[in-house]
Amino acid sequence: MCVAVWVYSLYPLYQTFMHVKLKMAGQPARSRRLETQPQEQLRARWTTSLTKILAELMVEQVHKGNKHNNLFNKKAWKYICDGFYNKTGLKWDKEQLKNRYSVLRRQYTIVKSILDESDFSWDEATGSITANDEIWAEYIKKHPDAETVKTSGCPIFKELCTIFSEPATNGKHEHLAAPEGGHISGILCPEPLNTHQEESSSESQEDEEDANDPQTVQPSAICNRKRGRRGIDDAIAEAMFEMASASKMRAAAIEQHIARYSMADCIKDLDLMQGVDQQLYFAALDLFNRPIAREIFLSLKKDKRLTWLRGKCAVASNHIG
């Protein structure tokens, strides 16, 4: 029953995703453009090494001063795209690299929030984030997105600090280097822009890039077309992200519910009850195989449990007979 409730709770998110997908079907200009692209451009398959190359190219542009108002200008993106092609041989377009940039920004926000907690530390040598299992479990219950970071760590966190720190620092916070033990804990670099501001900035990123670049003036029609395409991509990404988050939160809630009304707790209380003969005892164990029966039993006042058990087990016995 819990699984059915969980699946049903995801249905509105599924509807959102399908609605956005149908909107994409109504974008013939984008479909024609995709049909003319080489096969390897249709889908970017990111690996750890490719992500690191992209991050290093972005760090270079930050240090060169080509990032303003938390946005890379057109000159920076041209250098990043060309540099990525030269280093990897993959001619992915700017939109694909920007999509990865958005993913990295989200990853930075998640990791930064984790490391703001004093119980966590980042090992620069391995890229792993360390804490004991109990602390991880408690944190992931409240922040399901952190589960992937627990297993994969964040080898490029130092680069992300440079890329996504406040504009005033221009990425200059070399104090991130680890102490002798190789571990860093607590606040590691300047605070990022808050999530709402970053998302708003992302929606108008390309327009602001053009405004910051005096050499380029884009016609309004092209800007509107790009904005619409980016809006659809962002909506799909957001819908998928919400579905994944809801799934993890629902799974955590189910586990917590099961743990609250466990078989072990029922047996423990049953052993303490007076007036339970052997036949009723084993009939109760069969009854406790049903989660709803365990919940009712543990929720009842202790003076009412025996009466309830006798009634339920008698009904079950008559049913079998």
Annotated domain spans of the chain: 37-217, 261-320
* Minimum mean pLDDT range among 21-35, 144-158, 173-187, 290-304: 173-187
The candidate with the shortest Cα–Cα distance to 49, out of 105, 127, 110, is: 127
Query: Cα-Cα-Cα-Cα dihedral of 33, 98, 248, 151, to 10°?
Result: 120
pLDDT by residue (tens digit) across 71-94?
899 999 999 999 999 999 998 999
* Minimum mean pLDDT range among 69-78, 81-90, 141-150, 182-191: 182-191
The confidence score (pLDDT) of residue 247 equals 72
The confidence score (pLDDT) of residue 52 equals 93
> Rg of the Cα trace of the chain?
27
Q: Is the pTM of this model over 0.75?
A: no
Tokens representing 135 are 């602390």
Q: Regarding predicted confidence, which is higher, 194 or 207?
A: 207
Angle of the 278-287 helix axis to the 302-320 helix axis, nearest 10: 80
Contact of 104 with 62, CB cutoff 8 Å:
no
Tokens representing 147 are 């589960």
* Distant-in-sequence, close-in-space partners of 181: CB < 8 Å, separation ≥ 6: none
Tokens representing 200 are 């708003």
The confidence score (pLDDT) of residue 308 equals 92
Buried b (16+ CB within 10 A) or exposed e, 2-36: eeeebeeebeebeebbeebeeeeeeeeeeeeeeee
What is the average pLDDT across 200-224? 51
The confidence score (pLDDT) of residue 259 equals 73
Write the Ramachandran bin of 158: left for phi over 0, alpha for psi from -120 to 50, otherwise beta: alpha
- What single-letter amino acid sits at 264? A
Q: Is the pLDDT of residue 145 over 60?
A: yes
* Distant-in-sequence, close-in-space partners of 240: CB < 8 Å, separation ≥ 6: 17
**What confidence tier does 240 reach under pLDDT thresholds 50, 70, 90?**
confident
The confidence score (pLDDT) of residue 161 equals 92
The confidence score (pLDDT) of residue 16 equals 56
**What confidence tier does 183 reach under pLDDT thresholds 50, 70, 90?**
low
The confidence score (pLDDT) of residue 222 equals 56
pLDDT by residue (tens digit) across 7-18?
455 555 556 556
The confidence score (pLDDT) of residue 149 equals 86
The confidence score (pLDDT) of residue 192 equals 43
